[in-house]
Amino acid sequence: MLSNNIFDFERPIFELENRLNEMRAIAEDSGVEMETATSELEKKIHDLRINIYKNLSRWQRVQISRHPERPYSLDYIAAITDEFIELFGDRNFGDDKAMIGGIGRIGNQSMMFIGQQKGRTTKLRQFRNFGMPNPEGYRKALRLMKIAEKFGMPIVALIDTPGAYPGLEAEERGQGEAIARNLLEMARMNTQIICIVIGEGASGGALGIGIGDRVHMMENTWYSVISPESCSSILWRSWENKEQAAEALKLTAEDNLKLGIIDGIIEEPLGGAHKDPAIAYQNVKEKILADIEELSQISLPDLIDARVEKFSAMGSTRLMEEEWEEEPLTLVNKP
């Protein structure tokens, strides 16, 4: 059965899978021996899957990062913690449903979770404001991070947003200031911070909870200064060049690892986290625990020094005397 949530580039796989199912049904009904044919087809599907999913273009990765069945922050938290208490509100204005947070425990380790949250149904998507936080969301996140700092527990930030909300009230309440404050405070936060891009990492809205000792991206996510669509509309003056824009922006996990922006990539099940969420949860959990183990060996002053140094080193400049560095990133994912 074909679901609605299949991308064009995945269609050949689903067509073969359908044929396989039909074949099996016929074999069962008629009792005809079709073992060879079905196993051949199975192998073909397997190869096709690898061929398609291992050669995704940048735009296709963006599509997978937005897949409506993809796990969201609360799904990850529910799956990986032994205990979790959600906490609400920024103590100033209200509670932002696009930014969730709470205290959780894995084994004996307590940690503070924050993250943008998307909704799965039309109603829930609206409730969550499509994962676009208002200023109170960033302030809620900061409030929770301060609790983590006070009680010496690590912070885990799950990033999944199409951007901070560009609304009138958001401006009135200081969207810019709220994000800026988080950047500064996270840079000097006296505890370990682990950030993981689990879906979309759009610009300042993502970075507002993205300053960490370790920043990881899941395999099929994107993280950049602007979405491919908006980039296309500004630079090409049309929404049609989004695929080109995605290529130009070099926004995948692999790209960002090469650019020195992230520390690692977390593997997803073939085809995306939604194909087998349990694997995605397990990989994320293992990464968090390994990071905490590693980071807790470092003294806090050293940790903060290293964090500031890490972000201070980001960028690509040269001195006037130097020649152009012709070192383009290899375009592994040509569409």
Q: Which residues bind another protein (CB under 8 A)?
A: 164-168, 170-177, 179-181, 183-184, 187-188, 203-204, 207-208, 210-211, 223-226, 231, 234-236, 244-245, 248-251, 255-256, 259, 261, 307-308, 311-312, 314-321, 324-325, 328-329
- Residue 210 CB, nearest approach to another protein (Å): 7
Distances (CA, A) of 224 to 85, 92, 179: 31, 30, 16
Half-sphere exposure of residue 282: CA atoms within 13 angstroms, side-chain side:
6
Distance, in Å, from the CA atom of 185 to the CA atom of 205, rounded to the nearest integer, reads 16
Q: Is the distance from CB of 135 to CB of 167 less than 8 angstroms?
A: no
Tokens of residue 262, six digits: 């992230």
In this structure, what token pair is assigned to residue 6? 């299949």
Which of 81/221 has CB closer to another protein? 221
Cα distance between residue 113 and residue 86, in whole Å: 9
Q: What are phi and psi of 114, to 5 degrees?
A: -135, 155
Helix axes 242-249, 228-235, angle to 10 degrees: 100
Least Å distance, CB 187 to another protein, is 4
Task: Compare residues 170 and 303 and give the one whose CB is closer to another protein.
Answer: 170
Partners of residue 194 on adjacent β-strands: 156, 214
Q: 196: helix, coil or strand?
A: strand
Query: Considering the complex, what minimum distance in angstroms separates the CB of residue 154 from another protein?
Result: 19
- The identity of residue 228, as a single letter, is P
CB of 184 to another protein, least distance (A): 5
Cβ 325 to another protein, closest distance in Å? 5
* In the complex, minimum distance from the CB of residue 160 to another protein, in angstroms, rounded to a whole number: 16
Q: Which residue, 100 or 186, is less far from another protein as judged by CB?
A: 186
Q: Which of 196, 215, 216, 221 lies closest to 56 in space, CA to CA?
A: 221
Q: How far is the CB of 39 from another protein (least distance, A)?
A: 44
Residue with tokens 């799904």: 75
Residue placing its CB nearer to another protein in the complex, 39 or 126: 126
**Minimal distance in Å, beta carbon 200 to another protein?**
13
68 vs 260 by CB, closer to another protein = 260
Nearer to another protein, 6 or 225 (CB): 225
Our CB check for another protein shows the closer of 1 and 313 to be 313
Exposure of 60 in the CB half-sphere (CA atoms within 13 A):
16
Q: How far from chain centre, in Å, is Cα 139?
A: 21
Comparing CB distances to another protein, the nearer of 81 and 220 is 220
